[in-house]
């Protein structure tokens, strides 16, 4: 695991990108690391494209600016691919995790990605199957945790149990485990 | 969300809607889209009235209702309210 990681989450208002960012940050705290988590909204309404950011570090973080060159970009909604520049500023050895039914090679070609790693996971399918809702934040959290080896799965599960009521927590943990397993790269 | 730096000529005038929502697709991000079964539909015209996005319209020439998928956000109110259950919500990309 590297010393300093910056993650950008692309989502739409109401999909829980900020919640995912917070959950990841809390899971990192459990592993004794330092964190920052903040959202950036454009128009503050449901369905509007927004971004959330997470910083994870082994040392106290003295940076307080926005994240311009993330190591990891997570996309919660496949329809954002055509409206938002999701690869903007992504580090050359970065990781891109996208919720889509396409396979990583197709996506790499479509988005014209050079050196970064591409991971895909059909998160909407998983969320609808398990939660009966098209809310993909927890599944993408599971996929991102594996793709970029950000935190351990157990830490995320512990945080989920703290944050949600027991029944909802168990369902979200099921979603995270499935996404963790289903995430694939080239 | 873009970090591109814009010049003063490109910045929209503050507080002014310079471009109406009719000019771009506001509903291109839906997860479910409504599909109507024309056999079951009695053309009662309840759905054009209750649609919160005015995305169901009466087509005069065809004498039938039609969905405007550019503006439909897939909320499912029409499918829920349809008295003859003629509208079904299906995943985008499947028919």
Does the pLDDT of residue A1 top 50, yes or no? no
Nearest residue to A39 (alpha-carbon basis) of A31, A47, A49: A49
Both tokens of residue B15?
Answer: 């507080």
Q: A39: Cβ–Cβ under 8 A, 6 or more apart, which residues?
A: A17, A18, A21, A50, A51, A52, A53
pLDDT given at position B79: 95
Strand partners, B65: B58
Question: What's the average model confidence in pLDDT over A16-24?
Answer: 94
Q: E strand or H helix at A49, and its extent?
A: strand A49-57
pLDDT digits (tens, 9 = 90+) for B41-67: 999 999 999 999 899 999 999 999 999
Confidence of residue B70 (pLDDT cuts 50, 70, 90): very high
Per the listing, tokens 């969300």 go with: B1
A88, B31: Cβ pair inside 8 Å? no
Share of chain B above pLDDT 70, in %: 94
In angstroms, the separation between the Cα of residue A154 and the nearest Cα of chain B is 30
Residue A51 has its nearest CB partner, among B1, B32, B93, at B1
A50, B28: Cβ pair inside 8 Å? no
Which chain B residues have a beta carbon less than 8 Å from that of A47?
A: 29, 73
Question: Cβ(A9)–Cβ(A51) under 8 Å?
Answer: yes
Question: What's the average model confidence in pLDDT over A27-45?
Answer: 92
Q: Exposed, middle or buried by CB within 10 Å (0-12, 13-18, 19+), for A161?
A: middle
ipTM above 0.90, yes or no: no
A-proximal residues of B, 33-72, CB under 8 Å? none
Domains of chain A with CATH codes: 4-185 (3.40.920.10)
Radius of gyration of chain A from its Cα atoms, rounded to whole angstroms: 15
Share of chain A above pLDDT 70, in %: 99
Strand partners, A39: A52
pTM, two decimal places: 0.86
Tell me whether A14 touches chain B (CB under 8 Å).
no
pLDDT digits (tens, 9 = 90+) for A144-174: 999 999 999 999 999 999 999 999 999 999 9
Question: What's the average model confidence in pLDDT over A55-80?
Answer: 93
Domains of chain B with CATH codes: 27-91 (3.30.70.20)
Residue B29 has its nearest CB partner, among A12, A68, A85, at A12
């Amino acid at each position: 695991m590297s010393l300093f990681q910056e993650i950008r989450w692309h989502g739409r208002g109401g999909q829980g990108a900020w919640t995912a960012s917070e959950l990841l940050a809390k899971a990192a705290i459990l592993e004794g690391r330092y964190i920052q988590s903040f959202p950036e909204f454009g128009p503050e309404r449901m369905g509007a494209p927004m971004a959330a950011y997470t910083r994870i570090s082994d040392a106290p973080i003295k940076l307080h600016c926005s994240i311009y060159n993330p190591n990891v970009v997570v996309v919660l909604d496949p329809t954002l691919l055509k409206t938002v520049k999701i690869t903007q500023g992504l580090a050359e050895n970065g990781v891109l995790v996208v919720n889509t039914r396409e396979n990583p090679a197709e996506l790499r070609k479509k988005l014209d990605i050079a050196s970064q790693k591409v991971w895909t996971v059909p998160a909407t399918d998983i969320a609808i199957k398990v939660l009966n809702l098209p809310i993909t934040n927890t599944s993408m959290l599971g996929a991102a945790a594996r793709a970029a080896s950000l935190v351990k799965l157990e830490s995320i599960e512990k945080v989920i149990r703290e944050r949600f009521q027991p029944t909802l927590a168990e369902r979200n943990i099921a979603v995270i485990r499935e996404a963790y397993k289903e995430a694939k790269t080239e | 969300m873009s970090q591109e730096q814009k010049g003063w000529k490109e910045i929209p005038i503050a507080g002014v809607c310079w471009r109406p929502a009719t000019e771009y697709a506001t509903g291109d991000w839906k997860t479910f889209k409504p599909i109507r079964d024309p056999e079951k539909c009695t053309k009662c015209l309840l759905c054009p009235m209750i649609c919160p996005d005015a995305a169901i319209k009466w087509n005069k020439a065809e004498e039938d209702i039609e969905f405007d998928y550019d503006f439909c956000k897939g909320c499912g109110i029409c499918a829920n309210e349809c008295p003859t259950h003629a509208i079904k919500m299906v995943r985008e990309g499947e028919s």
